[in-house]
Amino acid sequence: MTEQKDYWDLEIVPESNMLDLKLQDIWRYRDLLILLVRRDFVSFYKQTILGPLWFFIQPLFTTIIYTFIFGNLAAISTDGLPQPLFYLAGITAWNYFADCLTKTSSVFTANAGLFGKVYFPRLIVPLSIVVSNLIRFGVQMCLFLLMMAYYATKGANLHPNISLLLFPFLLLLMAMLGLGLGMIISAMTTKYRDLSFLVTFGIQLMMYLTTVIYPLSVVKAKYPHYQWLLEYNPMTSIIEAFRYGFLGRGTFTAASLAITTGVTLVILLTGIIIFNRVERDFIDTV
């Protein structure tokens, strides 16, 4: 029984433990993670003249349009903050979450060719998406900080405060939420594609249920009956806390952040479990 020949490095069986994350395997493939991030980043601006500058242009133009439509035409309050700054804060944070979600949600279908030919821990690919979006987010944060500095010199009423310390935590929450939701959707679209149609416009609709183009305080004052809709949305308190930390305006409580954290963890765990289940033989049905 204790003979050496009973030792095997690897056993391939039909079912595996749901919570077995193969973290050791993932660690062994960490170089692949870095190279995939590099690939995403480099291939994004290959054969362009402006290169990484394109990371700036998208949020900048969105901000201009939002300022015109929601700020001036519809005259939605921005909590007394300069309008472009208010929108850019929301867009920067929201984009990170939305990009993580949409990219992760097509991980199985988009990489079927790769997954069908070689084994590596599948979780590497969604993780690389989160990290490469983080780089993009970092670039866009620079734009936000530049705009903040510009408005500060013009004497706008900004109050960066101690809540800024929450920033890394908020970033982690957004990454986990995007990753978790994305993995659930990607696992559910391997066999039946229906859900993938929902993602593209669903994410847009969800933005309007999040406080990207309006502050939570306005909803609380104007539509107290509907504020639960926003408060149950985990992204709301993340964005409100983000705005509060950097600009000094935003409505969030420790309780709302705690609920968000709880919801996020549940979603991430569900995502990982479903993803683990599906990755074993999705290639037969994708």
Partner 1 sequence: MGSVIKIENLSKAYQLGEIGTGTLTRDLERYWARIRGKEDPFLKIGEANDRSKKGESDIVWSLKDINFDIEEGQAVGIIGRNGAGKSTLLKVLSRVTAPTTGSIKVKGRIASLLEVGTGFHPELSGRENIYLNGAILGMRKAEIKRKFDEIVDFSGVERYIDTPVKRYSSGMYVRLAFAVAAYLESEILIVDEVLAVGDAEFQKKCLRKMEYGLHILCLDRNYAWCTSAVIAAGDDRQIYI
Q: In terms of CB distance, is 54 or 151 closer to partner 1?
A: 54
Instruction: Give, as ranges, the residues between 164 and 193 that touch partner 1 (CB under 8 A).
Output: 191-192
**What is the closest distance, in whole angstroms, from the C-beta atom of residue 285 to partner 1 in the complex?**
6
240 closest CA partner among 93, 63, 29: 93
Cα(134)–Cα(96) distance, integer angstroms: 7
**Considering only residues 116, 138, 160, 262, which one is a binding residue for partner 1 as defined by CB under 8 A?**
116
The answer to whether 118 contacts partner 1 (rule: CB under 8 A) is yes
Binding track, positions 27-56, relative to partner 1; x by CB under 8 A: --x-xx-xxx-xx--xx--xx---------
The answer to whether 19 contacts partner 1 (rule: CB under 8 A) is no
Q: In terms of CB distance, is 5 or 154 closer to partner 1?
A: 5
CB atoms within 10 A of CB 176: 20
Q: In terms of CB distance, is 11 or 20 closer to partner 1?
A: 11
Question: What is the C-alpha R_g of the chain?
Answer: 21
Q: What 3-state DSSP class applies to 13?
A: coil
Q: What angle do CA 207, 210, 211 make, to 5 degrees?
A: 115
33 closest CA partner among 170, 110, 128: 128
Give the CA distances from residue 68 to residues 64, 73, 99, 104, in Å, rounded to whole numbers and listed in that order: 6, 6, 24, 32
**What is the closest distance, in whole angstroms, from the C-beta atom of residue 246 to partner 1 in the complex?**
36
The answer to whether 154 contacts partner 1 (rule: CB under 8 A) is no
Q: Give the residues lining the site for partner 1 (CB under 8 A).
A: 5, 7-16, 29, 31-32, 34-36, 38-39, 42-43, 46-47, 113-120, 191-192, 280-281, 283-285
